Amino acid sequence: MASQQTDAEGITKVIATPVKAEAKIGRKTRDPSFTSTGSSDQTGWKFRTPQKVLFVEELTDLMTDHIPDFCKLGHSYFSGSLLMKESGEKAFKIDTAKHIQFKQMIMDVIVLFVNLLRAAFLPETLENIPLQNKEVYGKWPATKQDISGAWLPHCVRYVRGCVSSISVLDLLGEAREIIQELAIDMRTYCMFTLLKHAITDVQNLHTKEMWVVEVDDVFGGTTQLPALFENIVNETVQHLHEVVVQKKTGEPEIFSQRPVQKEATLLFGQLLEAFAPCLEHLVLPDQHSHTSCKDKSMPSTPDTEHADDSIPSLDKRLMITLSNCKHTSEQVIPYLVENLNRHGYVEMNKALQSAQENYQTLDAKFFEAYIEEKSNPIVGALEQNMYRGKFDWKTCKKPIGVRNYLKEVIMGMIEVHAEVFSISPAFVPRVMSMIVEAVAEEMSRLIQCATAFSTHGMLQARLELRALQDTVVVYMTQHAKRCLEEAQTSLPGFSGSEKKELEELLNIFKSQMKFQLMCFRSHTMPRLSVS
């Protein structure tokens, strides 16, 4: 038994000995090296396994290699099968009093093993240990407290493999519980860390926006960003499933603990919503935003002008991002939540609802900004152009057609229609109805603000109100219709001959503008006609 005690002390000593990284670099190097031929005595930089990873590998290898043999040795001693005479008699008398001492040696080794790993990865879990005892487990430098998300799953695999091999041994319940708690804590730590890394990666996706729109007949125009977001989430889910969620024999379900369940749900909710600020950063940046978000309408210097050549104007960025936001909310998020449900994550329907509300709020913000960006130039120039050349409703000449200012308004709306249609046709009714409302409100205001109308002025005003109304009838909202009706009601009455003249002038306008007005027609709506 004395030799057994010596073996246990040797194991403890080996485990407590710092890992010599240099001796294991050759065996444990994972990544290919990049060499430089610029110096004869320098082989170049190498991406080598981090010290903390080597520590885990070394420690778990020692436990896996020695603890099972040590347990078998003790079992053989206490069962009397260690040394037997040819006659079958025991070669020595078994000292059963040392059974407790043997179990304590195993417990001491396991406690040391567990606490060494906790000191490396979960130092906060050792807060209740006295300081003098904690010093035995070492303290990692602050710069090495964390390792990259690429290495952490590797460490968790090593720990879980070691714990799995030890758990099958004939250990005390307390010892088995200690190492199983380590495994679940490492799995939890890995999950939370990878999710936080994924959230950061998603939030930084705005740096990868190239503004190249790919148009799909089903989803409309989107850039690569929603697909990149989807890939990050799916890869994280798959990685977690392989490393953390799938349980080994004897391990508990990762979500069996309510605090873990709640934290995972919270982080996944944050991950699903992390794409929203990324989209917002692209079109509604703050003063410290990335230069890729600069509006082309802003003054540029020779140094920045070339870098911003490929960046669309703010209005186009808004429409592209609005389309990305819609696609994310309606297609990407539901698919991701379905995938999460398949992998056993709980309460994902709440995360789905919260994420969609978040993206809908963002959609409304983008849409409002886009309408303001596109309607302001059209509406802002309407009054000035209406009274161009000192036009007066009281002294104007006999109407000969719709004046140019209204044609310019229509051309402005056509430009908006074309821009929206080229990116996401599904947004055309939504955008155009709001542009029409803005124009109708301003037209109604200007007509009702006029102090008086001559007969010719009345006819000119009615002609232009009817031309606008019949042109945009497909996108006419109740509010826009009411505005134009109020403007017509404020005008003096007119005779049958004047009404006939109005219809003739209106038909001439539609004939002359036939090509331009095609975008205001829909196969689901009747063709424009004079009523």
**Banded pLDDT at 328 (limits 50, 70, 90):** very high
- Structure tokens belonging to residue 331: 């297609």
Mean pLDDT of 206-213: 92
Asked if the model's pLDDT at residue 43 lies above 50, the reply is: no
- Structure tokens belonging to residue 98: 């040392």
Round to whole Å and give the CA distance between 117 and 158. 11
Asked if the model's pLDDT at residue 234 lies above 80, the reply is: yes
Asked if the model's pLDDT at residue 10 lies above 80, the reply is: no
What one-letter code names the amino acid at 361? Answer: T
- Structure tokens belonging to residue 258: 């309510």
CB 183 within 8 A of CB 163: yes
Asked if the model's pLDDT at residue 315 lies above 60, the reply is: yes
Give exposure, 376-388, as e/b (b: 16+ Cβ within 10 Å): eebbeebeebbee
3-state secondary structure of 273: helix
Count of beta carbons in the 10 Å neighbourhood of residue 125? 16
- Structure tokens belonging to residue 259: 């605090």
**Banded pLDDT at 305 (limits 50, 70, 90):** very low
Of 273, 373, 277, the C-alpha closest to 317 is 373
DSSP state for residue 292 in the 8-state scheme: G
Asked if the model's pLDDT at residue 528 lies above 50, the reply is: no
CB 221 within 8 A of CB 423: yes
Round to whole Å and give the CA distance between 407 and 426. 26
Round to whole Å and give the CA distance between 319 and 312. 10
Please give the residue that has the higher pLDDT: either 334 or 171. Answer: 334
User: Could you read off the pLDDT of 426-473 as tens digits, one per residue?
Assistant: 999 999 999 999 999 999 999 999 999 999 999 999 999 999 999 999
Round to whole Å and give the CA distance between 462 and 351. 54
Mean pLDDT of 239-244: 86
Mean pLDDT of 247-272: 84
Of 215, 239, 231, the C-alpha closest to 152 is 239
Q: Which residues contact 461 (CB under 8 A, 6 or more apart)?
A: 393, 447, 450, 453, 487, 491
Asked if the model's pLDDT at residue 46 lies above 80, the reply is: no
DSSP state for residue 135 in the 8-state scheme: G
Q: Which residues contact 342 (CB under 8 A, 6 or more apart)?
A: none
Round to whole Å and give the CA distance between 384 and 387. 6
Q: What dihedral angle (degrees, nearest 10) is formed by the CA atoms of 520, 525, 528, 529?
A: -170
3-state secondary structure 371-403: HHHHHHHHHHCHHHHHCCCCCCCCCCCCCCCCC
Residue linked to tokens 């078994």: 94
Per the prediction, the chain carries an average pLDDT of 80
Mean pLDDT of 492-498: 84
Asked if the model's pLDDT at residue 99 lies above 80, the reply is: no
Axis-axis angle for helices 225-240, 314-327 (nearest 10): 40
- Structure tokens belonging to residue 492: 């003096």
- Structure tokens belonging to residue 346: 């709980």
**CA contacts within 13 A on the Cβ side of 185:** 18
Please give the residue that has the higher pLDDT: either 193 or 531. Answer: 193
User: Could you read off the pLDDT of 350-404 as tens digits, one per residue?
Assistant: 889 999 999 999 999 999 999 999 999 999 999 999 999 999 999 999 999 999 9
Burial (CB count within 10 angstroms: exposed 0-12, middle 13-18, buried 19+), residue 281: buried
Round to whole Å and give the CA distance between 403 and 339. 58
